Amino acid sequence: MASYSELMAQAQALMQQAEQARKDELSSAIADIKAKMKQYGITVADLGGASTGGAKKPAKSKSKAAAKYKGPNGELWAGGPGRKPEWVRAVLASGKSIEDYRI
């Protein structure tokens, strides 16, 4: 029976082989995709990606819920789960009730 260190060495060698196989298959898949895109005139924009090839910032999520609270400077908040806006945290920290700002 093989020792732990021998098995770990074998496992690491297999992981390296698997990574190389993944890279080889990835190169082939990318080449196939590029060929199909050229054949059919498909652009990156057609696929929903950035046409400039640059890194695209993730879209900031917008709440679809109606605003329930209005801050002192006109800020709106739906009161949903997640991190509270800074103005809400400031109101709560000052000891006031958020219900005073309900629309």
- Same domain, residue pair 41 and 73: no
Q: Write b or e for each residue in 10-40: b if 16 or more Cβ atoms lie within 10 A of its Cβ, otherwise e.
A: eeeeeeeeeeeeeeeeeeeeeeeeeeeeeee
Q: Is residue 17 part of a domain?
A: yes
Tens digits of residue pLDDT in 54-64? 555 655 556 67
Structural domains counted in the chain: 2
- Domain annotation covers residue 10: yes
- What is the tens place of the pLDDT at every residue in 65-97? 888 999 988 899 998 888 899 999 999 999 999
Domain enclosing residue 27, as ranges: 4-47
* Predicted TM-score (pTM) of this structure: 0.39
Q: Is residue 36 part of a domain?
A: yes
Q: Is 40 within a domain?
A: yes
- Residue 29 maps to a domain: yes
Residue 95 lies in a domain: yes
Asked, for residue 80, whether it belongs to a domain, the answer is: yes
